[in-house]
């Protein structure tokens, strides 16, 4: 190789290295910006951007991140798992009528209620919270017909009472109207969602699933373990970015998750 060719190659290599360093600097800066934004609760990061927050000023809850390490809060469009409510405890992230987690923190500590091959992390999920949590069991939920059969070990919130609520800091990709569907049990009734502190939607559960199967050979408590998935309403979300979604509960249901599907624009 001639000396002039070597010089050209050296310049090219230096240019590429400088470009690579610049990309790294940008990535590091973005990561630090995201980390600061997330720590402050004022924004979230995803897809190389910082999302603006519509969450009411002064809210002290913190978004829940999936235990698989995915650095993204529950998102819309998408599925919000009922048990992945915010961090922050009673009166901030949720309100429950008593301090005992009657599923993860009580019932599932009994050997027969933590089924074989179910991880303890599922049996005792968020056991120290007052919000009541359990999971779909072979011996309670899958030993009879369901309108829609849930997955074994699916987590859910239960033991619901009037006046209880749960908060979900949610990353909305784009504003729009979203159809809500839910996997639930028992009482056919309407529960409500608020968005950033204001009423936003009714979720009308269309039927009590336990009335749609033969219950004659099942114990009385089985009404809480017959599942259905159904559309229950729509919600209009005017702003993308972080939004605070609050589910207002009533006595008589278990909820596993809520799906939010964007409606076509007309």
Which tens digits make up the pLDDT trace of 160-172?
999 999 999 999 9
**Contact by Cβ (8 Å): 240, 173:** yes
Across 52-57, average pLDDT: 94
Across 27-40, average pLDDT: 41
Number of domains in the chain: 2
Which of 194, 201, 208 lies closest to 244 in space, CA to CA? 194
**Contact by Cβ (8 Å): 45, 227:** no
CATH number for 114: 2.60.120.260
> Would you say residue 39 has pLDDT above 70?
no
Phi, psi torsion values for 49, nearest 5 degrees: -140, 160
> Would you say residue 132 has pLDDT above 90?
yes
255 vs 9, residue with greater confidence: 255
**Contact by Cβ (8 Å): 224, 253:** no
Is residue 172 located within the same domain as residue 100? Answer: yes
The verdict on residue 243 lying in a domain is yes
Question: Which pLDDT band holds residue 74 (cuts at 50, 70, 90)?
Answer: confident
Which of 89, 61, 177 lies closest to 53 in space, CA to CA? 61
Return d(Cα 18, Cα 258) in angstroms, integer: 47
- Provide the domain limits for residue 26: 3-40
> Would you say residue 32 has pLDDT above 50?
no
Which of 171, 164, 150 lies closest to 243 in space, CA to CA? 171
The average confidence (pLDDT) of the chain is: 86
Is residue 59 located within the same domain as residue 27? Answer: no
> Would you say residue 248 has pLDDT above 80?
yes
Return d(Cα 56, Cα 149) in angstroms, integer: 37
**Contact by Cβ (8 Å): 140, 225:** yes
Render pLDDT for 207-244 as a digit per residue (tens, 0 to 9): 999 999 999 999 999 999 999 999 999 999 999 999 99
CA 265 to chain centre: 25
Is residue 163 located within the same domain as residue 209? Answer: yes
> Would you say residue 31 has pLDDT above 80?
no
> Would you say residue 141 has pLDDT above 50?
yes
Return d(Cα 24, Cα 21) in angstroms, integer: 5
Return d(Cα 253, Cα 227) in angstroms, integer: 10
Is residue 109 located within the same domain as residue 35? Answer: no
Q: Is the pTM of this model over 0.95?
A: no
Give whole-number Cα distances, 216 to 128, 149, 210, in Å.
36, 19, 11
Render pLDDT for 179-192 as a digit per residue (tens, 0 to 9): 999 999 999 999 99
Question: Which pLDDT band holds residue 265 (cuts at 50, 70, 90)?
Answer: confident
**Contact by Cβ (8 Å): 80, 258:** yes
Residues in the chain: 266
Is residue 150 located within the same domain as residue 28? Answer: no
> Would you say residue 44 has pLDDT above 60?
no
3-state class percentages of the chain: helix first, strand second, coil last, to nearest 5: 20, 30, 45
Render pLDDT for 188-204 as a digit per residue (tens, 0 to 9): 999 999 999 999 999 99
The verdict on residue 125 lying in a domain is yes
Is residue 221 located within the same domain as residue 160? Answer: yes
Across 117-142, average pLDDT: 97
């Amino acid at each position: 190789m001639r000396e002039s060719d070597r010089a050209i190659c050296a310049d090219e290599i230096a240019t590429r290295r400088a470009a690579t360093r610049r990309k790294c600097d940008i990535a590091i800066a973005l990561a630090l910006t995201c980390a600061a934004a997330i720590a402050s609760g004022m924004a979230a990061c995803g897809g190389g951007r910082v999302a603006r927050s519509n969450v009411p000023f002064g809210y002290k809850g913190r978004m829940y991140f999936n235990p698989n390490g995915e650095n993204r809060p529950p998102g819309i469009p998408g599925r919000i798992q009922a048990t992945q409510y915010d961090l922050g405890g009673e009166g901030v992230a949720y309100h429950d009528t008593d301090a005992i987690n009657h599923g993860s923190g009580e019932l599932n500590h009994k050997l027969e209620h933590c089924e074989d091959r179910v991880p303890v992390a599922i049996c005792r999920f968020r056991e120290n919270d007052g919000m009541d949590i359990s999971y779909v069991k072979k011996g309670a939920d899958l030993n009879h017909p369901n309108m829609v059969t849930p997955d074994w070990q699916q987590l859910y919130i239960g033991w619901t009472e009037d006046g209880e609520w749960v908060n979900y800091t949610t990353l909305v990709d784009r504003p729009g109207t979203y159809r809500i569907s839910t996997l639930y049990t028992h009482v056919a009734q309407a529960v409500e969602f608020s968005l950033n502190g204001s009423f936003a939607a009714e979720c009308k559960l269309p039927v009590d699933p336990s009335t749609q199967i033969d219950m004659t050979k099942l114990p009385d408590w089985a009404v809480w373990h017959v599942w259905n998935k159904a559309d229950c309403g729509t919600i209009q979300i005017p702003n993308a970015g972080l939004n605070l979604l609050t589910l207002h509960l009533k006595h008589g249901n278990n909820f596993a998750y809520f799906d939010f599907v964007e409606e076509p624009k007309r």
